[in-house]
Amino acid sequence: MRILLIAGHGEGDPGAGGNGYLEADLTREVVKLLQPKLAEICSVEIADTNRNWFEYLYKHSYNFKDYDYFLEVHFNSGGGTGSEIFVTTSERDTGVEAAIMRQLCAAAGYRNRGVKRTNFRVISRVKSQGVSSALLEVCFIDSAADMHTYTHKKNEIIDAIVNGIAEGFGLKRNAPARHWAAIAHDKIKERGYISADVWEAYDYDIPVQHALALLDNISGGRWASEEADESIHEAQPIVISLCGKGIINEPEQWISALKANENLSKAHTLALFDNMTGGMRPAYVNRDTDHWGRNCLDSLCDKGIIKTPHAWDDDFNAATTRALFMALVCAVLGI
């Protein structure tokens, strides 16, 4: 299902005016607001808004055949109130237009002036190519009451037009695709490695403390040590545990990062995971390169743990997002 939207007037033709508004501005606003919401139920394009299509089609032809439906937006004037929609006299079924009117008038409280038939130039040209077309007069630009409603209920009005099109064509909203990090999060949580909801803020940077706690959990759990001392920092025992397992080497550096409540850089994330998975591949040990993090990255790539290096090498000093960290956890666990 592919819809083309056209904003009425423009290219020097302001259309009607009233209450401080010009029709050409409002029609452009409406198609712009409609597009992202219609995109949830079908494919949608806005025809060039720099063009006055009424004038353009007087002299030119245009191929509308790639579309399944065409909606031209206008605002009415001349002393009335309410909404109406026009189709050409050759349109057989006006169920979609009736649905748009019903939804729009219910949401805005506009008078329903109904579905009418007039062979306006643009919708006629479109229909002559076999594509169903309609011209919507949202409300009266010269009615103070209509425009007050329009400005105060704009979102509801846009939603209602979309709902009408959805109802008329029987289109369903696509369920928003789940964030890949949400899937990673659930897998890690199901296995009991995380309980804190900090991990659900996928796009946020991960503090060292949470990162180390998760690493400790997935690498066999706490490694007992007499050196564990929560009075240094509540996460100090985690550092000692990771030291005992050989995943971190310089506990003092990590303790100071914890005390400063630092986020974990990408380079340090890579180093931790590289250590946890058998250490650096010999080819990269002491290799002279642009950043020491690249040696860890290439080592992890060689091991097949990282398959999208560009997620990591844009800036090794930048903090790691929770999403990226969890992606590595899943890769290491093979889940």
Binding site for Zn ion (CB under 5 A): 8, 15, 74
Q: How far is the CB of 143 from Zn ion (least distance, A)?
A: 15
| Spatial separation of the C-alpha atoms in residues 228 and 222, rounded to whole Å | 10
Q: How far is the CB of 8 from Zn ion (least distance, A)?
A: 4
| Spatial separation of the C-alpha atoms in residues 304 and 31, rounded to whole Å | 47
Closest to Zn ion by CB, 74 vs 113, is 74
| Spatial separation of the C-alpha atoms in residues 246 and 254, rounded to whole Å | 14
Q: How far is the CB of 37 from Zn ion (least distance, A)?
A: 22
Conformation bin of residue 107: beta by default, left when phi > 0, alpha when psi is -120 to 50: alpha
Closest to Zn ion by CB, 28 vs 74, is 74
Q: How far is the CB of 23 from Zn ion (least distance, A)?
A: 5
DSSP 2-70: EEEEEE-SBTTB---EETTEEHHHHHHHHHHHHHHHHTTTSEEEE--TTS-HHHHHHH-----TT-SEE
Closest to Zn ion by CB, 101 vs 276, is 101
Closest to Zn ion by CB, 24 vs 248, is 24
What is the phi/psi pair of residue 86, to 5°? -115, 140
Q: Are 64 and 5 in contact (CB under 8 A)?
A: no
Q: Is 256 helix (H, G, I), strand (E, B) or coil?
A: helix
| Spatial separation of the C-alpha atoms in residues 179 and 190, rounded to whole Å | 17
Closest to Zn ion by CB, 25 vs 167, is 25
Q: How far is the CB of 15 from Zn ion (least distance, A)?
A: 5
Name the residue number minimizing CB distance to Zn ion: 74
Q: How far is the CB of 309 from Zn ion (least distance, A)?
A: 54
Q: How far is the CB of 290 from Zn ion (least distance, A)?
A: 59
Q: How far is the CB of 153 from Zn ion (least distance, A)?
A: 21
Q: Are 308 and 300 in contact (CB under 8 A)?
A: no
Rg (CA), the chain: 30
| Spatial separation of the C-alpha atoms in residues 115 and 86, rounded to whole Å | 6
Q: Which two tokens stand for residue 72?
A: 């031209």
Q: Are 108 and 149 in contact (CB under 8 A)?
A: yes
Beta strands in the chain (DSSP E): 2-7, 17-18, 21-22, 43-46, 69-76, 83-87, 112-117, 132-140
Closest to Zn ion by CB, 15 vs 237, is 15
Closest to Zn ion by CB, 122 vs 165, is 122
Closest to Zn ion by CB, 24 vs 181, is 24
Q: Are 122 and 72 in contact (CB under 8 A)?
A: yes
